[in-house]
Structure 1
Amino acid sequence: MRILVTGAAGFIGSTVVDRMLADGHSVVGLDDLSSGRMENLAQAGSDARFSFEKGDITATGLTDFVARVRPDVVAHLAAQIDVRVSVADPLRDARLNVLGTINVLEAARLAGASKVIHTSSGGSIYGTPAVLPVSEAVAPSPESPYAAGKAAGELYLNVYRATYGLASTALALGNVFGPRQDPHGEAGVVAIFGTALLEGRPTKIFGDGTTSRDYVYVADVADAFARCVPAEAANGLRLNIGTAVETTVRDLHSRVARLVGVPDDPQFAAPRPGELQHIALDVALAQQAIGWRPQVSLDAGLGHTIDWIRGRLSSTATAASV
């Protein structure tokens, strides 16, 4: 099949690109490179079945581009990804995450695509659930503009499926981590902690450290996307993609510090607005619907990630000394 991946140069998007190519598909990547990096697509770039276009999912020309590509399936990962950015600028968040998603759906429909796989947010759309891990049976209850935008995207998926027959699956991701995650943005605590500790810089925890998240490894996330490629696979469903395990940010810091081999001594700061205190995702439906379950444990995934960060820092230092 021909797969269009939006947000292809991001750390999740590029991992999805690599997985789709490994599965034998041809892949077209789209990214405006506002946060994604072309170096993430170095492996894909050596494959003749991969092509890349720099472009914005909110642009009026998206429909013409997708019509030229004629994808069978669209994996939609392009988004504004930070809760704090959405709180500071909700209009920007809505333009990218709501209008951008509608633009992608409309372009996919007009191009004759059979399916859109949408990236939702299991870490935010449920608000503060009464019971954890939370299942898909719990109605979304957004507590930030970011979460509201992701929930709105799911509603539009339902509309396009009911009105136009465009198959769709929403993958509600936990807190994704792994190689290629950007340590310089405001999202991606594993990359932020790992890079700072490897460079000998101080780390900071916002709040008292008891905030918990469901951390899921990026290759497992790419596996979920791959399993949803057939039009009939989980059509019309939201699937939680996580581990069902809560890990506090304080515990996460300890694990990363231990892997790096440095003292576990973070600074603490005031909590930030808009962020949930606790979340973990029930993933039983994903196992039932597409045979998916997480394969990489937190410690194994952290080990892979720290090794990748260490290698990147070493390469950067070598390049700077030449």
Structure 2
Amino acid sequence: MNILILGAAGFIGTNLTIALAQNTHNQITLVDKDINYFSHIKEYGFNNVVIKESSLDEKEDFRMLEGQDTVYHLVSTNVPTTSNQHISQDIRSNVLFSSDLFEACVRYNVKKIVFISSGGTVYGKESVCPLKESTPTNPISSYGVQKITIEKLLYLYNYMYGLDYRIIRLANPYGPYQRPNGVLGAVTTFTYKALKGEQIQVYGDGTVVRDFIYIDDVIRAIIKIVYGESRHHIFNLGCGYGTSIRTVLETVEEALHIKMDIVYQPARAVDVPVNYLDISRYENDYGKLNPISLEDGIKKTAEFLMRKMI
């Protein structure tokens, strides 16, 4: 199978590549804007992986879609916390890019496109948890608005041209190869800072609730969704229950036997107070997810960080 992963050098792309490349029948092409970001993948020495450097700014760049069976769209130029600062710019770089991509997928006869959306932002703050795929989407960040708009574009291209697609509304993943920079990935960042003895900043009083899921569980589920059979196109993907930031901090301390230096900052307007997902659609179609516990996930993340980053 020919697989193209766009935005492949990031956290999800790296873990997805490692999993897909284990099947030597898969021929995988990785694309990102800077070839130097692929150092982790290069360490594996996969014979069935080709790396290409491209920002996909020119429509000619989309020629690489020719002959591809599955395309993974992982490209995003912003994050939820800052997306409201540059709305027009981010719409151009994310939504318009996605429209060009889907048009090219039709032109080059791509069989299926997979879009990683955001279960943490598309639903907004008024909905009752756990959030179903049918829950109204009223995001309070430009990031979430862009994700929903791209989802609707996929529906449109399917309606007009029959382009097959899957949308993964992903919760809050954490684990190996996530950059512990504090911008995304609270669990990974807290674990990293605890190991380094660095101060941890928390926005709000720690009562914000999120659905945290270890990356190995994410990748396993994505592969089932993409290559399994279902009448559905959109799937929530998380653990299916919520955990407060305060509980995450306590679990990090307990798992690592480290007392952390925590400073609480004023809450941010873009942070939805409570968000966790109903994953019954996934489990009805593909079986129980059975994600690992937060404590075990933190321990695995810490082992990776100490081996690779500390």
Answer whether TM exceeds 0.5 for this pair.
Answer: yes
- Specify whether residues 235 and 26 from structure 1 end up closer, same or farther in structure 2 by C-alpha distance, changes over 3 A only: farther
Following the alignment from structure 1 to structure 2, what is the Cα–Cα distance between the partners of residues 51 and 8?
Answer: 11
2:273: which partner in 1? 277
- Specify whether residues 53 and 79 from structure 1 end up closer, same or farther in structure 2 by C-alpha distance, changes over 3 A only: same
Following the alignment from structure 1 to structure 2, what is the Cα–Cα distance between the partners of residues 298 and 96?
Answer: 35
Q: Percent identity?
A: 26
1:297: which partner in 2? 293
Deviation of 1:139 (Å): 1.9
Deviation of 1:58 (Å): 4.2
- Specify whether residues 22 and 73 from structure 1 end up closer, same or farther in structure 2 by C-alpha distance, changes over 3 A only: same
Query: TM-score when scaled to structure 2?
Result: 0.93
Following the alignment from structure 1 to structure 2, what is the Cα–Cα distance between the partners of residues 290 and 158?
Answer: 22
Deviation of 1:125 (Å): 0.3
Deviation of 1:40 (Å): 2.8
Structure 1 residues without counterparts, runs of 5 or longer: 315-322
Deviation of 1:186 (Å): 1.2
Query: TM-score when scaled to structure 1?
Result: 0.90
1:136: which partner in 2? 133
* Contact in 1 for aligned 2:71/2:114 (Cα 8 Å): yes
Task: Look up the equivalent residue of 1:20 and give its one-letter code.
Answer: L
1:32: which partner in 2? 33
Task: Look up the equivalent residue of 1:39 and give its one-letter code.
Answer: S
Following the alignment from structure 2 to structure 1, what is the Cα–Cα distance between the partners of residues 182 and 91?
Answer: 19
1:22: which partner in 2? 22
Is 1:42 the counterpart of 2:39? The answer is no
Following the alignment from structure 1 to structure 2, what is the Cα–Cα distance between the partners of residues 185 and 91?
Answer: 25
Moved more, 51-60 or 299-308: 51-60
* Contact in 1 for aligned 2:127/2:135 (Cα 8 Å): no
* Contact in 2 for aligned 1:2/1:25 (Cα 8 Å): yes
Out of 249, 253, 262, the position equivalent to 1:257 is: 253
Q: What value does the CA root-mean-square deviation take over the aligned residues?
A: 1.9
1:8-87 residue pairs with structure 2 within 5 A?
8-23=8-23, 24-33=25-34, 37-44=37-44, 46-67=45-66, 70-87=67-84
Task: Look up the equivalent residue of 2:100 and give its one-letter code.
Answer: N
Instruction: Classify the secondary structure of the residue corresponding to 2:240.
Output: coil
- Alignment length (residue pairs): 309
Deviation of 1:290 (Å): 3.5
* Contact in 1 for aligned 2:203/2:266 (Cα 8 Å): yes
Task: Look up the equivalent residue of 2:125 and give its one-letter code.
Answer: T
- Specify whether residues 47 and 121 from structure 1 end up closer, same or farther in structure 2 by C-alpha distance, changes over 3 A only: same
Out of 95, 111, 117, the position equivalent to 1:114 is: 111
Following the alignment from structure 2 to structure 1, what is the Cα–Cα distance between the partners of residues 177 and 190?
Answer: 14
1:191: which partner in 2? 188
Deviation of 1:185 (Å): 5.3
Out of 225, 235, 251, the position equivalent to 1:239 is: 235
* Contact in 2 for aligned 1:9/1:31 (Cα 8 Å): yes
Moved more, 97-106 or 204-213: 97-106
Following the alignment from structure 2 to structure 1, what is the Cα–Cα distance between the partners of residues 218 and 93?
Answer: 22
Deviation of 1:236 (Å): 5.1
Q: Deviations over 1:145-182 (max 9, x none)?
A: 00000000100110111111110010000001010101
Following the alignment from structure 2 to structure 1, what is the Cα–Cα distance between the partners of residues 298 and 195?
Answer: 13
Structure 2 residues without counterparts, runs of 5 or longer: none
Instruction: Classify the secondary structure of the residue corresponding to 1:37.
Output: helix
Following the alignment from structure 2 to structure 1, what is the Cα–Cα distance between the partners of residues 274 and 255?
Answer: 25
